[in-house]
A and B are shown apart, each in its own frame.
Chain A
Amino acid sequence: MASHLLPKPTPQHSTATAGGMAEAGHARPRGLLRWLTTTNHKEIGTLYLLFSLTMFFIGGIFALVVRAELFQPGLQLVQPEFFNQMTTMHGLIMVFGAIMPAFVGLANWMVPLQIGAPDMALPRLNNFSFWLLPIGFTLLLSTLLMPGGGPNFGWTFYAPLSTIYAPPSTTFFILSIHIAGISSILGAINIIATILNLRAPGMRLMDMPLFVWTWLITAFLLIAVMPVLAGVVTMMLMDINFGTSFFNAAGGGDPVLFQHLFWFFGHPEVYIMILPAFGIVSAIIPTFARKRLFGYPSMVYATAAIALLSFLVWAHHMFLVGLPLVAEIFFMYTTMLIAVPTGVKIFNWIATLYRGSITFDPPMLFALAFVVQFTIGGFSGLMLAIAPADFQYHDTYFVVAHFHYVLVPGALFAILAGAYYWLPKWTGHYPNVKLSQWHFWLSVVGVNLTFFPMHFSGLAGMPRRIPDYALQFADFNMVSTLGSFMFGFSQLVFVLVVIKCVRGGEKAPAKAWEGAEDLEWSVPSPAPLHTFETPPTFKHQSH
Chain B
Amino acid sequence: MRTSFVWVVGLIIALVAPLAMANPWNMPRGVTDVSGEIFSLHMIIFWICVAIVVVVFGVMFYALFRFRRSKGAEAANFHENTTVEVLWTVIPMLILIAMAVPATATLKQMYDVSDAELDVMITGQQWRWRYEYLGEDVAFTSNLSTPRTQISGEEAKGENYLLEVDEPLVLPVNRKVRFLLTSDDVIHSWWVPDLAVKQDAIPGFVNENWVRINEPGIYRGQCAELCGIDHGFMPIVVEAMEEEAFDTWMEERKAAAEQEAMGVGREWEFAELMERGESVYGSICASCHQAEGQGAPPTFPALAGNQALLDEPERHISTVIDGVSGAAMPAFRNTLNAVEIAAVITYERNAWGNETGDSMQPSEIAERIADQGE
Q: Mark A230-243, 1 if CB is under 8 A from B, else 0.
A: 00000000000001
| B226 contact set on A, CB distance < 8 A | 84, 153-154, 158, 161, 464-465
Residues of chain B from 23 to 68 with CB closer than 8 A to chain A in the complex:
23-28, 37-38, 41-42, 45-46, 49, 52-53, 56-57, 59-60, 63-64, 67-68
Among the stretches A46-54, A390-398, A505-513, the one at the interface with B is A390-398
Are A470 and B79 interface neighbours, CB within 8 A?
Answer: no
| A354 contact set on B, CB distance < 8 A | 59, 63, 67
Q: Mark B322-350, 1 if CB is under 8 A from A, else 0.
A: 00011110000000000000000000000
Select which of B70, B103, B162 is within 8 A of A386 by beta carbon.
Answer: B103
Among the stretches A102-110, A111-119, A271-279, A337-345, the one at the interface with B is A337-345
Are A80 and B202 interface neighbours, CB within 8 A?
Answer: no
Select which of A76, A337, A395, A449 is within 8 A of B12 by beta carbon.
Answer: A449
Given contacts A291-B79, A356-B67, A445-B8, contact A256 B25 (CB under 8 A): no
Given contacts A343-B92, A459-B27, A466-B222, contact A81 B15 (CB under 8 A): no
Are B60 and A350 interface neighbours, CB within 8 A?
Answer: yes
CB distance from B37 to the nearest CB of A (A): 7
Given contacts A165-B328, A256-B202, contact A332 B100 (CB under 8 A): yes
Given contacts A292-B79, A356-B63, contact A461 B193 (CB under 8 A): yes
Are B46 and A460 interface neighbours, CB within 8 A?
Answer: no
Are A158 and B187 interface neighbours, CB within 8 A?
Answer: yes
Name the CB-closest residue of A to B9: A445
| B6 contact set on A, CB distance < 8 A | none
| B197 contact set on A, CB distance < 8 A | 391
Are B225 and A388 interface neighbours, CB within 8 A?
Answer: no
Are B152 and A167 interface neighbours, CB within 8 A?
Answer: no
| A472 contact set on B, CB distance < 8 A | 22-24
Are B41 and A147 interface neighbours, CB within 8 A?
Answer: no
CB distance from B333 to the nearest CB of A (A): 14
Cα(A368)–Cα(B65), bound, Å: 13
Given contacts A329-B104, A469-B232, contact A343 B88 (CB under 8 A): yes
Cα(A350)–Cα(B45), bound, Å: 23
Are A165 and B151 interface neighbours, CB within 8 A?
Answer: no
Select which of A298, A321, A347 is within 8 A of B56 by beta carbon.
Answer: A347
Given contacts A460-B26, A461-B193, contact A148 B299 (CB under 8 A): yes
Cα(A498)–Cα(B111), bound, Å: 55
How many A-B pairs have beta carbons closer than 8 Å: the answer is: 306
Residues of chain A from 416 to 460 with CB closer than 8 A to chain B in the complex:
441, 445, 448-449, 453, 456, 459-460
Among the stretches A93-101, A183-191, A375-383, A528-536, the one at the interface with B is A375-383
Among the stretches B204-212, B250-258, B308-316, B365-373, the one at the interface with A is B204-212
Cα(A467)–Cα(B234), bound, Å: 12
Are B202 and A255 interface neighbours, CB within 8 A?
Answer: yes
Cα(A56)–Cα(B63), bound, Å: 34
CB distance from A349 to the nearest CB of B (A): 8
The reply on A63 being an interface residue by CB < 8 A is: no
Given contacts A337-B96, A353-B64, contact A290 B69 (CB under 8 A): yes
Cα(A448)–Cα(B299), bound, Å: 39
Residues of chain A from 366 to 409 with CB closer than 8 A to chain B in the complex:
368, 371-372, 375, 379, 382-383, 386-389, 391-392, 394-396
CB distance from B73 to the nearest CB of A (A): 5
The reply on A71 being an interface residue by CB < 8 A is: no
Are B231 and A465 interface neighbours, CB within 8 A?
Answer: yes
| B107 contact set on A, CB distance < 8 A | 325, 328-329, 332, 387-388
The reply on A468 being an interface residue by CB < 8 A is: yes
Among the stretches A216-224, A306-314, A475-483, the one at the interface with B is A475-483
Cα(A289)–Cα(B325), bound, Å: 64
CB distance from B241 to the nearest CB of A (A): 23
CB distance from B9 to the nearest CB of A (A): 9
The reply on A57 being an interface residue by CB < 8 A is: no
Cα(A294)–Cα(B46), bound, Å: 29
Residues of chain B from 134 to 171 with CB closer than 8 A to chain A in the complex:
150-153, 157, 159-163
The reply on B11 being an interface residue by CB < 8 A is: yes
Name the CB-closest residue of B to A468: B232
CB distance from A402 to the nearest CB of B (A): 12
Select which of B42, B77, B160, B230 is within 8 A of A383 by beta carbon.
Answer: B42
Given contacts A154-B226, A470-B161, contact A356 B73 (CB under 8 A): yes
Given contacts A75-B151, A249-B203, A388-B41, contact A350 B12 (CB under 8 A): no
The reply on B196 being an interface residue by CB < 8 A is: yes
Are A356 and B75 interface neighbours, CB within 8 A?
Answer: yes
Cα(A250)–Cα(B45), bound, Å: 42
Residues of chain B from 168 to 204 with CB closer than 8 A to chain A in the complex:
185-187, 189, 191, 193, 196-200, 202-204
Cα(A352)–Cα(B299), bound, Å: 57
| B84 contact set on A, CB distance < 8 A | 347, 351
Residues of chain A from 265 to 296 with CB closer than 8 A to chain B in the complex:
289-296
Are B228 and A165 interface neighbours, CB within 8 A?
Answer: yes
Name the CB-closest residue of B to A376: B53
Are A467 and B186 interface neighbours, CB within 8 A?
Answer: no
The reply on A128 being an interface residue by CB < 8 A is: no
Count B-side interface residues using an 8 Å CB cutoff.
108
Q: Mark A491-525, 1 if CB is under 8 A from B, else 0.
A: 00000000000000000000000000000000000
Are B232 and A467 interface neighbours, CB within 8 A?
Answer: yes
Given contacts A383-B45, A463-B191, contact A80 B229 (CB under 8 A): yes
Are A470 and B162 interface neighbours, CB within 8 A?
Answer: yes
Are A73 and B198 interface neighbours, CB within 8 A?
Answer: no
Q: Mark B93-128, 1 if CB is under 8 A from A, else 0.
A: 100100110011011101100000000000000100
Are A479 and B16 interface neighbours, CB within 8 A?
Answer: yes
The reply on A160 being an interface residue by CB < 8 A is: yes
Cα(A353)–Cα(B335), bound, Å: 64
Cα(A475)–Cα(B260), bound, Å: 46
CB distance from A315 to the nearest CB of B (A): 13
| B80 contact set on A, CB distance < 8 A | 294-297
Given contacts A75-B151, A291-B79, A482-B15, contact A391 B198 (CB under 8 A): yes
The reply on B291 being an interface residue by CB < 8 A is: no
Select which of B45, B73, B93, B196 is within 8 A of A391 by beta carbon.
Answer: B196
Cα(A490)–Cα(B57), bound, Å: 27
Cα(A240)–Cα(B299), bound, Å: 14
Are B69 and A359 interface neighbours, CB within 8 A?
Answer: yes
CB distance from A338 to the nearest CB of B (A): 10
| B89 contact set on A, CB distance < 8 A | 340, 343-344
The reply on A358 being an interface residue by CB < 8 A is: yes
The reply on B4 being an interface residue by CB < 8 A is: yes
Given contacts A84-B226, A320-B200, A359-B68, contact A388 B110 (CB under 8 A): yes
Given contacts A290-B75, A463-B224, contact A350 B56 (CB under 8 A): yes
Are A371 and B60 interface neighbours, CB within 8 A?
Answer: yes
| A297 contact set on B, CB distance < 8 A | 80
CB distance from B237 to the nearest CB of A (A): 12
Are B161 and A471 interface neighbours, CB within 8 A?
Answer: yes
CB distance from A146 to the nearest CB of B (A): 10
Cα(A509)–Cα(B244), bound, Å: 84
Given contacts A350-B56, A391-B196, A394-B198, contact A255 B203 (CB under 8 A): yes
CB distance from A273 to the nearest CB of B (A): 21
The reply on B353 being an interface residue by CB < 8 A is: no
**Shortest beta-carbon contacts, A-B, top 4:** A249-B204, A466-B232, A322-B207, A460-B24
In the complex, besides A250-B325, A295-B80, 14 extra interface pairs with C-beta distance below 8 angstroms are A84-B229, A161-B186, A168-B298, A255-B187, A255-B202, A294-B81, A322-B202, A388-B41, A388-B110, A461-B221, A463-B232, A465-B231, A466-B222, A472-B24
18 contacts between A and B (CB under 8 A): A74-B150, A76-B153, A295-B80, A325-B108, A344-B88, A355-B63, A355-B75, A356-B63, A358-B69, A368-B64, A379-B49, A388-B38, A392-B27, A392-B198, A394-B198, A445-B12, A448-B12, A461-B221
